[in-house]
């Protein structure tokens, strides 16, 4: 907490309570510092410099800092500073960061290679600087009021503030949630709570005219280039990824990996096992065959000769975890894979503190199967309007069962009008039925318009990647990865989401990403000898959970109880929700994704609002 006026006793009590609410993020140490205008508290998960890396850290009696995450190039930065005459008392990342900050100010952030959220206090200027990593791997929420900034790694801490009206829900962002299955950053479901966007820092200064200055320091720009030497580029890609994995292995404690049946986790596990033979790899599945990658992961683990720890979860594990998942996510993220991620993080935390995971590969290298549609749609979209217009009308007139209807529609409708990222749950008509607060003036383009403007004129796959990086990746993938691992005091690192890896991935041409319906073509080619051919070509499943199946039978009454008894009638039409559930049970409609959006919101409502 940073205030213009001196802190009061109530402020200090609030900071202690907030710190307690996120104790799971760092059970190894609990420390706070109180100044006249600033109170900061830190929960430490000891990974680097176990003995001396305590936080908050004070530097030269002027600067104080806390940070969550990892700086993978801190050793090089430290060596450069030593060459310039600086001395260090610890081997910690925070001392390196504060030393750089003391020399370069906010611009130091451009030198960092890692995942981070930080707060640095300059006693002399009486200002604080908050910053977040380029891809949004680590979270940083804040509430800005006149003369006060409240900030935290998790927004649940704010719900302990007596001055916060917990009943407020932003109706526009609720509507976006029903489109996306998450709330696109920097917004949240509470009108006062924001998240500092990825690649930004914020300077808070109550001495001048403007209390808060928000600055963007990093934008992931795609610059596709046709390569004359495919093999050379593939080899460079491989070396860059392998180097990133090596950086992400830096730790004073053991590091493991998550292993599914696909190529992303296999590449990371294979590379990590070369650096640390016998590494532990973790796989989760539910006891339903068509929703399991256990056999595939077991085959990969044997091929790589790693220690393979398998968790087969059941219906009771699922039910036990549900409320905890909703609580730890802070705001609703209606991705069924959250259940599997929570349970495998729980298992991994019994063995170690750090795991590597494969998030980000699909966004960087073009891995989602939906990207394949651009091969045809780019050609159709290039047709003159006098041809496209009647084709588009035809696509709308054709019955739904006619083969090619969707292809024709996609090919004659610009991405800007239809692609909102990897998840699109309720359309406008459906939202009008389920949401009592539905506003026809609100639509997804309000979220995606500026994102598309950044990639105007780019190939279709590049547009889709960029939209996913700015919506799906930040709002869904990275949220569940961070919150559900830290719920168990486990740190998840993502080697693909690295500035150097992105710098190379951003140059890939469409043909290097998609070839003959093969996604991530050059990536698969680069690592074809590291794992077997079947793994190289296997399509992505992504923590499959049998929600579709269970909602028809085993979870039907459970879901009905949540709909009926969780409150939220002022927002959700309960009759329509129950109709969706019954239609799904009877096999008339496939509503499991819609139902999951409803169920997660209602449980969140009962936990945080009701």
Q: Tell me which residue range forms the domain holding 287.
A: 230-366+469-537
pLDDT, tens digit, 9 for 90 and up, residues 497-554: 999 999 999 999 999 999 988 999 999 999 999 877 777 666 666 688 999 999 999 9
In-domain check, residue 399? no
pLDDT, tens digit, 9 for 90 and up, residues 397-450: 888 777 777 778 887 888 999 999 989 999 999 999 999 999 999 999 999 999
CA distance 42 to 529: 44
- Of 216, 249, 273, which one is at a domain's C-terminal end? 216
CA distances to 26, 137, 558 from 483, rounded to whole Å, are: 12, 10, 25
CA angle at 269 for the pair 266 and 274, rounded to the nearest 5°: 125
Q: How many CB atoms lie within 10 A of CB 440?
A: 9
Query: Same structural domain for residues 152 and 272?
Result: no
In-domain check, residue 112? yes
Torsion sign across C-alpha atoms 36, 39, 44, 49: negative
CA distance 162 to 527: 54
Query: Same structural domain for residues 203 and 305?
Result: no
pLDDT, tens digit, 9 for 90 and up, residues 72-114: 999 999 999 999 999 999 999 999 999 999 999 999 999 999 9
Which pLDDT belongs to residue 610? 86
Query: Same structural domain for residues 280 and 209?
Result: no
Residues in the chain: 610
Please, what's the b/e burial string for 572-590 (b: 16 or more CB within 10 A of its CB; e: otherwise)?
A: bbbebbeebbeebbeeeee
Query: Same structural domain for residues 234 and 179?
Result: no
In-domain check, residue 388? no
Which pLDDT belongs to residue 375? 81
- Of 518, 537, 556, which one is at a domain's C-terminal end? 537
pLDDT, tens digit, 9 for 90 and up, residues 186-197: 999 999 999 999
- Of 156, 191, 216, which one is at a domain's C-terminal end? 216
Strand, coil or helix: 282: strand
In-domain check, residue 261? yes
Query: Same structural domain for residues 135 and 266?
Result: no
pLDDT, tens digit, 9 for 90 and up, residues 279-289: 999 999 998 88
pLDDT, tens digit, 9 for 90 and up, residues 557-603: 999 999 999 999 999 999 999 999 999 999 999 999 999 999 999 99
Across the chain, what does the average pLDDT equal? 94
Q: What is the mean pLDDT of residues 290-297?
A: 88
Query: Same structural domain for residues 112 and 143?
Result: yes
Asked if residue 358 lies in contact with residue 523, where contact means CB atoms within 8 angstroms, the answer is: no
Query: Same structural domain for residues 362 and 475?
Result: yes
In-domain check, residue 131? yes
Asked if residue 374 lies in contact with residue 461, where contact means CB atoms within 8 angstroms, the answer is: yes
Which residues does 232 contact at the CB level (< 8 Å), separation at least 6?
none
pLDDT above 70 covers what percent of the chain? 99
Using a 10 angstrom Cβ sphere, with 0-12 exposed, 13-18 middle and 19 or more buried, the burial of residue 424 is middle
In-domain check, residue 410? no
CA dihedral of residues 315, 320, 322, 324 (deg, nearest 10): -160
Bond preceding residue 56 cis, omega within 30 of 0: yes
What are the DSSP E strand ranges found in 224-382? Answer: 255-258, 280-286, 307-313, 354-356
In-domain check, residue 75? yes
Q: What is the mean pLDDT of residues 445-457?
A: 95
Query: Same structural domain for residues 181 and 70?
Result: yes
pLDDT, tens digit, 9 for 90 and up, residues 103-152: 999 999 999 999 999 999 999 999 999 999 999 999 999 999 989 999 99
Using a 10 angstrom Cβ sphere, with 0-12 exposed, 13-18 middle and 19 or more buried, the burial of residue 37 is buried
Q: Which pair of tokens denotes residue 456? A: 């105007």
Asked if residue 325 lies in contact with residue 338, where contact means CB atoms within 8 angstroms, the answer is: yes
- Best CA proximity match to 335, nearest among 76, 108, 545: 545
Q: Which pair of tokens denotes residue 311? A: 């968790």
Query: Same structural domain for residues 193 and 251?
Result: no
Task: Inform me whether the pLDDT recorded for 210 exceeds 80.
Answer: no
* CATH value at residue 61: 3.60.20.10
- Best CA proximity match to 190, nearest among 234, 148, 157: 157
pLDDT, tens digit, 9 for 90 and up, residues 295-340: 999 999 999 999 999 999 999 999 999 999 999 999 999 999 999 9
Q: Which pair of tokens denotes residue 530? A: 């590291």
Record the pTM.
Answer: 0.95
Please provide the DSSP assignment of 471-491 as one string.
THIIIIIHHHHHHHHHTTT-E
Asked if residue 269 lies in contact with residue 248, where contact means CB atoms within 8 angstroms, the answer is: no
Strands 280-286 and 255-258: parallel
* CATH value at residue 350: 3.40.50.620
Q: Which pair of tokens denotes residue 306? A: 């790693």
Query: Same structural domain for residues 246 and 143?
Result: no
Which pLDDT belongs to residue 49? 80
Query: Same structural domain for residues 93 and 130?
Result: yes
In-domain check, residue 148? yes
Give the count of domains, the chain.
2
Task: Inform me whether the pLDDT recorded for 378 exceeds 80.
Answer: no
pLDDT above 90 covers what percent of the chain? 84
- Best CA proximity match to 526, nearest among 263, 304, 261, 221: 263
Query: Same structural domain for residues 34 and 136?
Result: yes
């Amino acid at each position: 907490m940073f205030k213009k006026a001196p802190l009061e006793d109530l402020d200090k009590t609030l900071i202690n309570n907030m710190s307690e609410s996120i104790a799971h993020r760092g059970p190894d140490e609990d420390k706070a510092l109180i100044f006249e205008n600033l109170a900061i508290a830190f929960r430490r998960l000891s990974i680097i410099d176990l003995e001396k890396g305590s936080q908050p850290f004070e530097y030269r009696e002027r600067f104080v800092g806390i940070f969550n995450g990892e700086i993978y190039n801190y050793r090089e930065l430290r060596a450069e500073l030593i060459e310039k005459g600086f001395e260090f008392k610890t081997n910690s990342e925070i001392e390196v960061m504060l030393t750089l900050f003391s020399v370069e100010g906010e611009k130091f952030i451009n030198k960092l290679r890692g995942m981070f959220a930080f707060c640095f206090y300059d006693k002399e200027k009486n200002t604080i600087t908050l910053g977040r990593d380029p891809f949004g791997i680590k979270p940083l929420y804040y509430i800005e009021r006149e003369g006060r900034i409240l900030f935290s790694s998790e927004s649940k801490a704010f719900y302990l503030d007596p001055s916060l009206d917990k009943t407020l829900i932003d109706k526009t962002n609720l509507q976006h949630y029903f489109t996306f299955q998450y709330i696109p950053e920097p917004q949240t479901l509470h009108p006062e709570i924001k998240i500092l966007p990825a690649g930004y820092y914020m300077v808070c200064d109550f001495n001048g005219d403007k209390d808060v200055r928000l600055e963007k320091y990093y934008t992931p720009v795609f610059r596709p280039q046709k390569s004359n030497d495919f093999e050379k580029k593939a080899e460079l890609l491989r070396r860059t990824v392998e180097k990133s994995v090596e950086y992400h292995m830096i730790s004073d404690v053991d590091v493991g990996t998550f292993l599914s049946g696909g190529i992303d986790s296999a590449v990371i596990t294979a590379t990590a096992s070369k650096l640390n033979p016998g590494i532990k790899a973790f796989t989760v599945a539910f006891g339903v065959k068509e929703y399991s990658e256990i056999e595939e992961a077991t085959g990969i683990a044997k091929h790589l000769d790693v220690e393979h720890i398998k968790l087969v979860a059941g219906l009771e594990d699922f039910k036990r975890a549900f409320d905890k998942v909703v609580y730890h996510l802070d705001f609703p993220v209606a991705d069924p894979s959250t259940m599997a991620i929570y349970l495998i993080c729980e298992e991994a935390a019994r063995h170690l503190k750090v795991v590597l995971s494969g998030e980000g590969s699909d966004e960087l290298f073009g891995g989602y199967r939906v990207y394949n549609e651009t091969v045809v749609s780019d050609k159709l979209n290039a047709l003159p309007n006098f041809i496209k217009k009647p084709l588009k009308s035809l696509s709308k007139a054709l019955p739904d069962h006619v083969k090619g209807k969707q292809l024709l529609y996609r090919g004659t409708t610009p991405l800007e009008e239809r692609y909102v990222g990897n998840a699109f749950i309720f359309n406008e008509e459906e939202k009008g039925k389920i949401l009592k607060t539905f506003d026809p003036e609100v639509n997804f383009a309000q979220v995606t318009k500026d994102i598309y403007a950044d990639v105007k004129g780019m190939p279709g796959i590049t547009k889709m990647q960029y939209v996913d990086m700015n919506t799906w990746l930040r709002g869904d993938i990275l949220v569940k990865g961070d919150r559900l691992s830290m719920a168990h005091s486990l740190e998840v690192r993502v080697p693909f989401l690295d500035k150097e890896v992105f710098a190379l991935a951003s140059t890939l041409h469409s043909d290097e990403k998609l070839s003959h319906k093969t996604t991530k073509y050059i990536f698969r080619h680069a690592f074809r000898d590291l794992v077997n051919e079947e793994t190289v070509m296997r399509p992505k499943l992504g923590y499959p959970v049998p929600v579709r199946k269970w909602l028809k039978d085993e979870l039907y009454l459970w879901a009905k109880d949540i709909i009926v008894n969780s409150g939220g009638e002022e927002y959700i039409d309960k009759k329509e929700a129950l109709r969706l559930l019954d239609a799904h049970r009877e096999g008339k409609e496939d509503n499991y994704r819609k139902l999951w959006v409803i169920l997660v919101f209602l449980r969140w409502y009962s936990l945080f609002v009701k």
